[in-house]
Amino acid sequence: MSDFDPTGDDAIATNRIRTPGLDAELVPVDAEVRVHDARADGEDLDRSLRPPTLADFVNQVQVTEQLGIFIEAARRRGEPLDHVLLAGPPGLGKTSLANIVAAELGVPLVQTAGPALERKADVASFLTALEPGSVFFIDEIHRLGRAVEETLYPAMEDGELPVVLGQGAGARTVTLPLPPFTLIGATTRSGLLTTPLRDRFGVSHRLEHYSADHLALIVERSAKILEVEIDAEGARTIASRSRGTPRVANRLLKRVRDFAQVKGRGEIGAAVATDALTMLEVDSGGLDRADRALLDTIATKFAGGPVGLSTLAVAIGEEQDTIEDVLEPYLLQQGLLKRTPRGRVLTQRAYDHLGLPVPEGAASLF
């Protein structure tokens, strides 16, 4: 009779494989093999550009002031912060705020995304592993499935996780106590959140687009971190073409830095920034080639509109979802495009931006 124990160390020892590139080390079959990815260096750099404290977070003054009060009150009571919902367009700092809240509270941050939570067990594995007081951050929370979302209700309200054991008539529900935690949800489409989920957030904020002055401050701060010399005019030039979004401002700064190092002396002034952004095909209004192609197509091929979305998608060679979710929001925000029951229509401001005359038939649409 063998002394082998299928649940003991012998089983673990035999359930190992050699991993290519790790000849000297045996790795369990079901272990997660961590391989260094060179792309992580860029991600670390992006994280370093994030503001570390509420004081460094510019523009959203009302949001940061309120969060500062709520965080301090929670600290004094020795309680976790109430659940927080952050809404707004992408790139405005929702993830940065979640990191700041965890840092200000001095607690761990556990991060995931709505699409990654496909089953109730996925949520349960995260919640049961949280340390007391932790911040649990769910990005794109509006993309949670209904069954997964309902699992969060008792966890958020009562700090409990009901688990069904067994099936059929013999099934029974066991309630697991959870450590106190703060759920921070981020969404770019708050209208898709169900009312029961939205109502369970005690703190709700919406982030707005940044002014050029505030973006210039962000560009100057990021330039210091990247060790790039930039003057006020150079920062202002980049900020004015960043669509009111810090993520876009930091991306443009990095590309202008490359241009300045190769084509100039490494210093970024207004002239260098303008030349670099012209090379990148980002115009004075922050529009890129795809934005201008959409406007130009409506203006020249469809006499300013109206034109249907499906027709427009075929005309410019883009998917309808790309037009609606990527291209149109900024054009609508800037007043360059209108959505009407009959289709898309250009505005007077769009013709002025393109430098084109307004067709006679289109003038009556304004």
Q: Which residues are part of the catalytic machinery?
A: 94-95, 139, 188, 247
- Candidates 204, 108, 196; CA nearest to 152 is 196
CA–CA gap between residue 205 and residue 88 (Å, rounded): 9
Nearest 5°: CA angle at 287, between 286 and 291?
A: 160
**Dist CA 92 CA 59 (whole Å):** 10
Helix (H) or strand (E) segment spanning residue 342: none
Residue with the two structure tokens 């401002």 = 249
Whole-number Cα distances in Å, 293 to 281, 323, 339: 12, 11, 17
Between strands 229-230 and 267-268, the pairing is parallel
Residue 258 is which amino acid? D
Segments in the chain forming alpha helices (H): 9-14, 39-48, 61-77, 94-105, 120-128, 146-158, 195-199, 212-225, 232-240, 246-263, 270-279, 289-301, 309-316, 320-322, 328-333, 348-354
Name the 3-class secondary structure at 294: helix
For residues 50-78, b (16+ Cβ closer than 10 Å) or e, as one string? bbeebeebbbbeebbeebbebbeebeeee
Residue reference for tokens 């410019």: 316
Peptide bond connecting 51 to the previous residue in cis, omega within 30 degrees of 0: no
Q: Are 358 and 348 in contact (CB under 8 A)?
A: yes
